Amino acid sequence: MEAKRQDLNVFGMTCAACSTRVEKSLNKAAGVEKANVNLVTESAAVYYDPDQISAEQLIDIVKHAGYDAAEKMSKEEKDAVLDKQFKREVRRFILSAILALPLLLTMVTHIPYLHHTAFAMGVDAIISPTIQLILATVIQFYIGWRFYDGAYKSLRGKSANMDVLVALGTSAAYFYSVAEYVRQLLNPNVVAHYYFETSAILITLILLGKLLESHATSKTTQSIAGLLKLQSKEAVVIREDKEWKVPVDELAIGDVILVRPGEKVPIDALVLSGETSIDESMISGEPVPVEKKAGDTVIGSTVNFDGAFQAKVTKRMDETVLSTIIQLVEEAQGVKAPIQRLADKISGIFVPIVLVIAVVTFAIWMLAGGGFEQALQVAIAVLVIACPCALGLATPTAIMSGTGKGAETGILFKGGEHLERTSKVDTVIFDKTGTLTEGKLKVTNMLDGHSDFKAFAVVLESQSEHPIAKAVLAHLENEEVPAVQAEKIRAKAGHGVVGLLNGSKVSLGSYRFISSSAAVPKDADDEMKVWMEAGRTIVAMSIDGDFAGAFSLQDTPRKEAKEAIARLRDMGIKTAIASGDQRVVVENIAKELGIDAVYAEQLPNDKSELVSGLQKQGRVVAFVGDGINDAPALATADTGISIGTGTDIAIETGDVTLVGHQLTLVPQTIQLSRATMRNIRQNFFWALAYNCAGIPIAALGLLAPWVAGLAMAGSSVSVVANALRLKRIKLK
């Protein structure tokens, strides 16, 4: 029996280890052939034998692994669940911050030379040990329970992640403080040392980091919903010589559809009759509409400009080009689960070592006759000095500082994992139209062979919304032209426009259209052929059968594009251009800007396959684009960089969004990500340096717990101060 697919929504996953654990649990189940779990979309695709296992049992397996699951919801239902979870986390953070604030004040009582000041004594008097205990207990076990739960799941899965470190460190500080509280209750003369604020503040800060990360990644799946909105809802189908408006989903292969000017093409089809031009920029990215006639194919969701036509449906709705783009985006996002945090990797080694050292220390002190209380105090000092305050802050503080600097500069990262991947980029591929170029046609040359050429061009082009017409009118907007008597102006679909102007028969359109019916002088013909060889678009005019003039149009590079490419080259990064335009045009742009490699006549899936091919060669690829046609490549790339002035789909699919359209932000993005990752590594060094230096001292009984607390505070301060240096970095 063919395997059945069951899509599930999985809730509660917080890191790559979570998705791996769910995936392993599902794959071990009898009857499951394959399970893919996607952390980004919080979903699982399970291929299973329904005779051996049911969908309900699959959900039970996920729940047994420690996570919530449900059969795939609609976007609205899932958004409602996620919104509810996010609001709950916001409320918990606010409560934690409010409760932790009084405890923060008590830190002054641990600082030598300050704990006898009037302020410190006032804090001690107002925030008594009992109040501290109550506040810390609520934070530790109500707000911070998620870390215990996560640590349990991680340890059950035979791994140690950040949750284990947080649970271990906060518990050491909290329970030591509880023990001190009990000791002072039993003997009021005892001088107790409390560290309730250590656990409370750590939990609060980590909650803040997770909240910010959750908010930054909350829109990663909206690109697919945006693509779905592009699909037509209805189509006009011709049946029994009558026109019927039907839902697009009801169209079948072989149906004949009618598409009028200004309408979207409802589905992929083959033109049977009629001529027109189609705006295919959604797919190709190119601003010049494509001429269509009988025998040509048209693509669903593209826009019909100026002619009605009938076409035969050639593909089902789930087989169209747009559906393929949607599928490519889904598949690419499915393999983009965030990489395991470096902190989790360190904790996998660090936590077991600390536990072993603490146990061995306790045993040695007991055997040496130190007594239970002293042995316990030394062991707790080891755990306190190993508390992961700085280790827990190392990544989020640097990422918050780096992403904050990026936001000030106009670079928006969607999450820390994207910032990390960007630092490793060694190849940058640019889309051409709208990314490296202005994205709109401009007149570059003009041949004026008749006194009425400009005036007639203004009259004829003003009748059209065609991008070429707009470019010609923009070029002539400052020209003073005489009034023209115009009659019988009509569009000649796919070719141009004709009319009777001042009593003369005038035609304006493509070079092929004009040269087929008018005599073109050799010098003008040679000039226009030079334009065509350079990949430019030609608009020519004939008056009463004689050549009257012509325009050449081209999409021009952005002013800062050459500078951006040069900076990338100086950073040792290879550059390439991928475009749906013809090769001669793309090669000219690449040569002008100094780009290393050229990939022309690329459809959306070609761009995606290009990225995949380079990745298989070991390259770390960033793709820079702005259009719907770039969405698959943006999703497939290690880092998708979206231009902020581009389409919503491109912006939502990309990992990084550049606000505005300054291409110099591309090298700055990579520079900032490299600086941030370097800062994180420095933070890890300082975070662990305090621990590694303090643990042996604590194990020898030479470090009191309050000194260990100061060491933890010192490591945290150094990490935060180092992270804040990113705010002052100068991006070139």
pLDDT tens for each residue of 623-640: 998 766 788 888 889 898
Helix/strand/coil (H/E/C) assignment for every residue in 257-317? EEECCCCECCCCEEEEECCEEEECHHHHCCCCCEEECCCCEECCCCEECCCCEEEEECCCH
C-alpha to C-alpha distance for 595 and 587, rounded to whole angstroms? 9
pTM metric for this prediction: 0.59
State both tokens at 475: 């070029």
**Structural domain count, the chain:** 4
Q: Report the pLDDT averaged over residues 83-101.
A: 87
Q: What average pLDDT does the chain have?
A: 79
Task: Say yes or no to pLDDT of 358 above 90.
Answer: no
Q: Report the pLDDT averaged over residues 23-50.
A: 83
Q: Which residue has the tokens 């426009």?
A: 497
Highest mean pLDDT among 136-145, 191-200, 703-712: 136-145
Question: Do 549 and 450 belong together in one domain?
Answer: yes
Question: Do 536 and 637 belong together in one domain?
Answer: no
Contact indicator for 230, 217 with CB cutoff of 8 Å: no
Contact indicator for 576, 595 with CB cutoff of 8 Å: yes
Task: Say yes or no to pLDDT of 113 above 60.
Answer: no
Q: What is the CATH number of the domain that holds 273?
A: 2.70.150.10
Q: What is the pLDDT of residue 453?
A: 93
Q: Report the pLDDT averaged over residues 77-98.
A: 82
C-alpha to C-alpha distance for 613 and 618, rounded to whole angstroms? 9
- pLDDT bin (cut points 50, 70, 90) of residue 86 is confident
Helix (H, G, I), strand (E, B) or coil at 595: coil
Domain extent for 296: 234-266+268-314
C-alpha to C-alpha distance for 699 and 553, rounded to whole angstroms? 77
Residues 6+ apart with CB under 8 A from 283: 299, 302, 321, 580, 603, 604, 628, 629
Q: What is the CATH number of the domain that holds 14?
A: 3.30.70.100
Backbone angles phi, psi at 87, to 5 degrees: -65, -35
Catalytic residue set:
431
Among 493, 528, 557, residue at a domain's last position: 557
State both tokens at 589: 């742009």
Question: Do 573 and 551 belong together in one domain?
Answer: no
Name 542's bridge partners. Answer: 507, 547
Task: Say yes or no to pLDDT of 651 above 60.
Answer: no
Contact indicator for 669, 638 with CB cutoff of 8 Å: no
In a domain, 383, yes or no: no
C-alpha to C-alpha distance for 265 and 122, rounded to whole angstroms? 75
Greater model confidence, 645 or 658: 658
- With CA atoms as reference, report the closest residue to 275 among 257, 256, 261: 261
Question: Do 505 and 421 belong together in one domain?
Answer: no
In a domain, 709, yes or no: no
- Indicate the range of 119-128, 189-198, 411-420, 601-610 predicted with least confidence: 119-128
In a domain, 595, yes or no: yes
Going by the DSSP 8-state scheme, the letter that residue 237 receives in this structure is E
State both tokens at 41: 């979309």
Contact indicator for 732, 671 with CB cutoff of 8 Å: yes
Task: Say yes or no to pLDDT of 447 above 90.
Answer: yes
- Indicate the range of 1-15, 97-111, 327-341 predicted with least confidence: 327-341
Question: Do 539 and 575 belong together in one domain?
Answer: no
Query: Quick one: what percent of the chain has pLDDT higher than 70?
Result: 79
Greater model confidence, 162 or 534: 534
Among 652, 670, 688, residue at a domain's last position: 670
State both tokens at 373: 């209380």
Contact indicator for 283, 321 with CB cutoff of 8 Å: yes
Question: Do 526 and 490 belong together in one domain?
Answer: yes
C-alpha to C-alpha distance for 272 and 269, rounded to whole angstroms? 9
In a domain, 664, yes or no: yes
- pLDDT bin (cut points 50, 70, 90) of residue 80 is confident
Tell me the helices (H) and strands (E) count for the chain, helix number first. 26, 26
Question: Do 461 and 424 belong together in one domain?
Answer: no
Highest mean pLDDT among 207-211, 327-331, 386-390, 683-687: 683-687
In a domain, 54, yes or no: yes
- Letter string b/e over residues 365-395, b meaning 16 or more CB atoms within 10 A of that residue's CB: beeeebeeeebbbbbbbbbbbbbbbbbbbbb
Q: What is the pLDDT of residue 614?
A: 94
Among 295, 314, 333, residue at a domain's last position: 314
In a domain, 372, yes or no: no
Greater model confidence, 322 or 260: 260
Contact indicator for 495, 278 with CB cutoff of 8 Å: no
Q: What is the pLDDT of residue 220?
A: 40
Question: Do 598 and 567 belong together in one domain?
Answer: yes
Task: Say yes or no to pLDDT of 156 above 80.
Answer: no
- pLDDT bin (cut points 50, 70, 90) of residue 267 is confident
Task: Say yes or no to pLDDT of 684 above 90.
Answer: no
Element holding 657 (H helix, E strand): strand 656-658
Q: What is the pLDDT of residues 562-595, one digit of tens each?
A: 999 999 999 999 999 998 777 887 888 898 899 9
C-alpha to C-alpha distance for 380 and 362, rounded to whole angstroms? 9
In a domain, 708, yes or no: no
Question: Do 600 and 456 belong together in one domain?
Answer: no
Task: Say yes or no to pLDDT of 672 above 70.
Answer: yes
Question: Do 508 and 640 belong together in one domain?
Answer: no
C-alpha to C-alpha distance for 224 and 261, rounded to whole angstroms? 28
C-alpha to C-alpha distance for 403 and 421, rounded to whole angstroms? 14
Q: Report the pLDDT averaged over residues 715-732.
A: 78
Contact indicator for 297, 269 with CB cutoff of 8 Å: yes
Question: Do 576 and 589 belong together in one domain?
Answer: yes
Question: Do 517 and 575 belong together in one domain?
Answer: no
In a domain, 323, yes or no: no
C-alpha to C-alpha distance for 501 and 504, rounded to whole angstroms? 5
- Indicate the range of 40-49, 215-224, 392-401, 595-604 predicted with least confidence: 215-224
Helix (H, G, I), strand (E, B) or coil at 236: strand
Greater model confidence, 471 or 109: 471
Q: Report the pLDDT averaged over residues 492-496.
A: 71
Backbone angles phi, psi at 640, to 5 degrees: -95, 120
State both tokens at 595: 């780009």
Q: What is the pLDDT of residue 416?
A: 67
- pLDDT bin (cut points 50, 70, 90) of residue 20 is confident
